[in-house]
Amino acid sequence: MENKKILLSENEMPTQWYNLAADLPNPLRPPLTADGTPITPDTMAPIFPMNLIEQEVSTQRWIDIPKPILGFLRSWRPTPLKRASALETHLDTPARIYYKDESVSPPGSHKPNTAVAQAWYNKEFGIENLTTETGAGQWGSALGYACGLVGIKCKVYMVRISFEQKPFRKVLMRIWGAHCIPSPSQDTQAGRDILKKMPDTPGSLGIAISEAIEEAVSDTSGKTRYALGSVLNHVMLHQSIIGLETRAQLKKVGIEKPDIIIGCAGGGSNFAGLAFPFAAEKIDGADITIKPVEPKACPTLTRGEFIYDYGDVAKTTPLLPMYSLGHTFVPPGIHAGGLRYHGMAPLVSQAVVDGLFEPESLDQLECYDAALTWARTEGSVPAPETTHAIAATIREALKAREEGKEKDIVFCYSGHGLLDLSAYETYLDGQLVESTLPEDDLQKSISDVKDNPRVE
């Protein structure tokens, strides 16, 4: 019997992160201030600790993972690479399907890979409090978990509608000792201003970001900083451990080079984590198809433009060089909350411009169909975000069958769906409708940013 699971021992875990910025065919553009001036590390210092800012701007190829971070990561890493043999049989495909199971971490996703690193670097820099925002709660719970491990305080501004409607991730944060409050709140000027104007607002990620950053920069003791769970270069760096482990695991079963790499992409972090080490091989000439998969309702890479744009609606962040649907774009309320982002990580965006990746967008219903096929063959229940990677994988496996070609397909199983079962219930009840792209809104949000600085 062939093994379902390809395991690494803890001693085989990578001890360095891989930085794609060192190998991109065209160098990454710097972030800009609103007037078009490149951001300096000092400008970022009130928001992030300097040791993370150094990683943010680094072009060094390999960066050592500090021993204490390795210790925390070993709580759940190395994660298994698994063969989806039951799905292969069901699809009657000659393709071999492997998936990197990032759902085994205590918060249930890939997010703690960067959360423990960020918490540790902040503590090392003397920071005692981290603030962040969260939508459905994946990132907030991961950072809460990490801060608990490392021993610093964590305050999470959670979008109010999610705070009220999705209580479970909030409970997780409390279990791990984090302080989670609904946003907008009375704790910040930004929150108070909004509440005065709109006392019944459901909140938004943009508002929550503004509150979390305000609290960090206004602590005059200098002991508070802000943490972001995706998009930024240092986040992509920390996630590269996913792909590095995967590469070692594939070699264990004699696969020197996979044919297809797939990951769902919202801000880009789980996709980048798996894909970047393979992108390096592609830059070196290897023939690998690498696909970020996004929802048709929020098609950043497939319909957006590569421009300088803000990371949030309120324009509190610097301008980042990235694919964007325009920072005023509000995607429909699809269940994969982690994929509802108007922008995309600059490193992923630049690699798309450079022709390294082949983005694809999928319908929500196709993704849930794929998830049900998955659960009834492989057994586990994927997060709504992860269903996009599964659906794209099934497409490729069926294509391999049509072509009669053996292929090695690897995708990132970014998280489990055990806290998203109400979405599945809606689907099983036949109530899940396709979330169509609001074309008029998209045209407007893209036109809203037409005067932003252009990338060359």
Which residue lies nearer to a copy of itself by CB, 66 or 453? 66
Shortest distance (Å) from residue 197 CB to a copy of itself: 32
- The binding site for a copy of itself (CB under 8 A) comprises 1, 3-5, 7, 9-11, 67, 70-71, 74-76, 86, 104, 106, 108, 145, 148-149, 167-168, 171-172, 174-177, 372, 375-376, 378-381, 418-419, 421-422, 424-425, 428
Which residue lies nearer to a copy of itself by CB, 4 or 450? 4
CA pair distance 292, 342, nearest whole angstrom: 15
Shortest distance (Å) from residue 437 CB to a copy of itself: 28
Shortest distance (Å) from residue 204 CB to a copy of itself: 25
Which residue lies nearer to a copy of itself by CB, 353 or 365? 365
3-state secondary structure string, the chain? CCCCEECCCHHHCCCEEECHHHCCCCCCCCCECCCCCECCHHHHCCCCCHHHHHHHHCCCCEEECCHHHHHHHCCCCCCCEEECHHHHHHHCCCCEEEEEEHHHCCCCECCHHHHHHHHHHHHHCCCCEEEEEECCCHHHHHHHHHHHHHCCEEEEEEEHHHHHHCHHHHHHHHHCCCEEEEECCCCCHHHHHHHHHCCCCCCCHHHHHHHHHHHHHCCCCCCEEECCCCCCHHHHHHHCHHHHHHHHHHHHCCCCCCCEEEEECCCCHHHHHHHHHHHHHHHCCCCCEEEEEEECCCCHHHHCEEEEEECCCCCCCCEEEEEECCCCCCCCCCCCHHHCCCECCHHHHHHHHCCCCCCEEECHHHHHHHHHHHHHHCCCCECCCHHHHHHHHHHHHHHHHHHCCCCEEEEEECEECCCCHHHHHHHHCCCCCCCCCCHHHHHHHHHHCCCCCCCC
Shortest distance (Å) from residue 109 CB to a copy of itself: 12
Which residue lies nearer to a copy of itself by CB, 418 or 433? 418
Which residue lies nearer to a copy of itself by CB, 72 or 278? 72
Question: How do beta strands 305-310 and 319-324 pair?
Answer: antiparallel
Which residue lies nearer to a copy of itself by CB, 51 or 426? 426
Shortest distance (Å) from residue 70 CB to a copy of itself: 7
Shortest distance (Å) from residue 395 CB to a copy of itself: 21
Shortest distance (Å) from residue 353 CB to a copy of itself: 39
Which residue lies nearer to a copy of itself by CB, 22 or 375? 375
Which residue lies nearer to a copy of itself by CB, 1 or 35? 1
Shortest distance (Å) from residue 245 CB to a copy of itself: 14
Which residue lies nearer to a copy of itself by CB, 145 or 276? 145
Which residue lies nearer to a copy of itself by CB, 107 or 277? 107
Shortest distance (Å) from residue 67 CB to a copy of itself: 8
Shortest distance (Å) from residue 69 CB to a copy of itself: 12
